[in-house]
Structure 1
Amino acid sequence: MTLERGVRLGLDPGDARIGVAGSDPGGILATPVETVRRGPGDLDRLLALVREAEAAVVYVGLPRSMSGREGPSAGKVRAFASDLADRVRPVEVRLFDERLSTVTAEGQLRDQGRKGKKRRAVVDMAAAVVILQGALDRERQSDARAGEPVPVRATDD
């Protein structure tokens, strides 16, 4: 099986901001897109980004402990991903293990000399890039979508 071409988006949802990254249509390289403020209108903005990019799939970073367990923050992300899947359907939303993505992103930004507020302003986007690049690499290794699919809730229409 060969995966169809198409832009993939990666999200790093936090309590205050959602980092967004995107890929090329071939699914090779993840790059930063923007940071969306959490709160009213955040799902509308993400839907607009999905449509603008004509995204084939959205990967949402799922926080797990180093042992693989899921804590309260994973529950919040699962609820967010479910709401997002309902909003962006028929585009597929998948959860992807994001262990250490923020730590990796922080280290990369520090290595680039970004400090303080400048680093905090882009760390969510950088973490989204790390999440998406991991998913893209996994796709290429397995020739299948990475992560765990998020089911769309049944509707009355």
Structure 2
Amino acid sequence: MSDALPRGARLGVDVGKARIGLAGSDPDGLVATPVETVARVLTGPTTPDGTPAVTADVARIAAEAADRSAAVVYVGLPRHLSGNEGAATTDARGFAGRLAHEIAPVPVFLVDERMTTVTAHAQLRAAGQRTAKHRPVIDQAAAVIILQHALDVERASGDRAGEHVDVS
């Protein structure tokens, strides 16, 4: 457990097949708020040596991290209810790794996001928003839930939430 986490905004990322929800916090890490929905890029260009180039979605999140002087980025890790990992988990891990390489030395952590989309839908319904209107904001709402959970863990433990993404 650390004595004090560095001050700075935090970002929360909900990675989906078509869209990525992005949430941000204040520099003290108290409250998560929606930022935007980023279009997902599933395949991208390669560099001359054959390695994948930075896709527009990773570049957009990296730009947001730089603009906000983010101290950390939390990416949701979609596990099955049983805790097992599947294809979506592998996809989120790959995305988090690409993002971590792009924004280093800003750390990226993976945090359990089981039930965040279901919770986000329920919260939007409770706020009186019709289900048909959820699509444009559901990913942002899920990112807010991911980030707020991470902020709550930080306050309770004095340390970063989740699993650190190694960039070595």
Normalising by the residue count of structure 2, what TM-score does the alignment of the two structures yield?
0.89
1:91 matches 2:93? no
1:138 matches 2:140? no
1 CA distance for matches of 2:12 and 2:131?
A: 24
1:4 matches 2:19? no
1 CA distance for matches of 2:18 and 2:60?
A: 15
1 CA distance for matches of 2:106 and 2:132?
A: 34
Q: How does 1:20-99 map to 2 (within 5 A)?
A: 20-39=22-41, 40-99=55-114
Deviation at 1:4, TM superposition (A): 1.5
- Segments of structure 2 that go 5 or more residues without pairing to the other structure are 42-54
Structure 1 segments of 4 or more deviating over 6 A?
Answer: none
1:38-79, CA deviations, whole angstroms, 9 ceiling, x for partnerless residues?
114111111111111110000000001122111111001101
Deviation at 1:116, TM superposition (A): 3.6
1:107 matches 2:122? yes
Q: How does 1:111-126 map to 2 (within 5 A)?
A: 111-126=126-141
1:103-142, CA deviations, whole angstroms, 9 ceiling, x for partnerless residues?
1100000111212442111000000000000000001110
**Do 2:18 and 2:40's aligned partners in 1 also have CA atoms closer than 8 Å?**
yes
Q: Equivalent pairs: percent with the same residue?
A: 56
Give, as a single letter, the amino acid of the residue that structure 2 aligns with 1:63. P
Residue 163 (structure 2) aligned to one of 142, 148, 155: 148
**Do 2:40 and 2:57's aligned partners in 1 also have CA atoms closer than 8 Å?**
yes
Between 1:83-92 and 1:40-49, the stretch displaced more is 40-49
Normalising by the residue count of structure 1, what TM-score does the alignment of the two structures yield?
0.95
Give, as a single letter, the amino acid of the residue that structure 1 aligns with 2:129. R
User: CA RMSD, aligned part only?
Assistant: 0.9
2 CA distance for matches of 1:36 and 1:21?
A: 11
Give, as a single letter, the amino acid of the residue that structure 2 aligns with 1:46. I
2 CA distance for matches of 1:138 and 1:67?
A: 21
